[in-house]
Amino acid sequence: MAAPHVAGVVALIKSTHPRASAYQVKALLTHQADATACGAPYDIDGDGAVDAVCEGGTNYNGFYGAGVVDALDAVRR
């Protein structure tokens, strides 16, 4: 469900910055995201084996990319 959420936030960005290029929209989307750190490795199916490990730092990592989009921040910038 991340893609529809991000698409909606991109639409909000375009509504407040109608002349923004695709590059500018991407930059605005990235800069308004709330940085989210990696959590502990987890076992999604409960079989005792680690199924996923997040790698990277707080500002960019394998699970959250640049972070969690924030629709309110997107229209305030």
> What predicted TM-score, i.e. pTM, was given to this entire model?
0.72
pLDDT of residue 10: 94
Q: Which residues contact 33 (CB under 8 A, 6 or more apart)?
A: 65, 66, 67, 68, 69, 70
pLDDT of residue 25: 94
- 10-56 pLDDT, tens digit each: 999 999 999 999 999 999 999 889 999 998 888 889 899 998 999 99
Local structure of 23: helix, strand or coil: helix
User: Structurally, how many domains does the chain consist of?
Assistant: 1
pLDDT for 77 beyond 80: no
pLDDT of residue 20: 94
Question: Whole domain around residue 21: which residue ranges?
Answer: 2-76
